[in-house]
Amino acid sequence: MKEAIITADDIVGKEAVDPHGAVLGVVVKLHIDTRSKQITGITVDLGFLKPDLFVGIDYIHHFGVDAVLLNKVPAERFRNMRVIAVDGTEIGHVKDVVLEDSVITQLTVIPLHKKAFSKVLYHIPVSEIKEIGASVILRKEMTP
């Protein structure tokens, strides 16, 4: 039972790792509800010039020895990811992720050859996405 009890020092300063193994950043804060005395989540420092990310307790899989393991890939991870069609044609980069009830429904993509001052954006529904790995790969060939 002694091993099941950890302190804030055991959590703050550790890396936050998503289910794909990606290291998101370092845990900088622990949030506690003063009424229920329960941990409500953690704040992760994503790096220089990036805003901090709050991760709710429901998305934490495990407080590990050297890292905090999450059970969900945060939408933040997909921003600025390269988007390519199934045949390798580069479409652009992810600008934003549209969520509904914490589920990704759509990606907003900046076209690869976007002209200055142009507001053209692609809105790609999740049904057209084949895989999200190192890049976002679409199901179909797409003519930009």
Partner 1 sequence: MFSRKIAVLSTKFENLDGLPTARKYLGRKVFSTSGLFVGKVNDLVFKHNALAGVIVSGRYRIFVDKEYFSSDTDDAIMLSIDPILFIIGKQVFDVEGRKLGKVVGLEKGTADNSFGSLLVRKNIISKVKKIPRSHISICKENIILSKAYP
* Positions in the binding site for partner 1 (CB under 8 A): 14-15, 17-23, 62-69, 82, 84, 86-90, 131-137
Nearer of residues 65 and 116 to partner 1, judged by Cβ: 65
Cβ at position 107, least distance to partner 1 in Å: 13
Between residues 68 and 97, which has the closer beta carbon with respect to partner 1? Answer: 68
Q: Measured from the CB atom, is 62 or 123 closer to partner 1?
A: 62
Minimal distance in Å, beta carbon 37 to partner 1? 24
Let me know the angle formed at the C-alpha of 125 by 135 and 85, rounded to the nearest 5 degrees.
Answer: 40
3-state secondary structure of 70: strand
- Least Å distance, CB 92 to partner 1, is 13
**Smaller CB separation from partner 1, 43 or 68:** 68
Q: How far is the CB of 87 from partner 1 (least distance, A)?
A: 5
CA 77 → CA 4, 30, 114, 134, distances in Å? 30, 21, 22, 10
User: How far apart, in Å, are the Cα atoms of 110 and each of 117, 126, 130, 133, 141?
Assistant: 12, 16, 19, 19, 17
CB 41 within 8 Å of CB 31: yes
In angstroms, what CA-CA distances link 38 with 30, 74, 76, 94, 141? 11, 22, 26, 36, 49
> At its nearest, how many Å lie between partner 1 and the CB of residue 81?
8
- Tell me whether residue 21 or residue 117 sits nearer to partner 1 (CB atom): 21
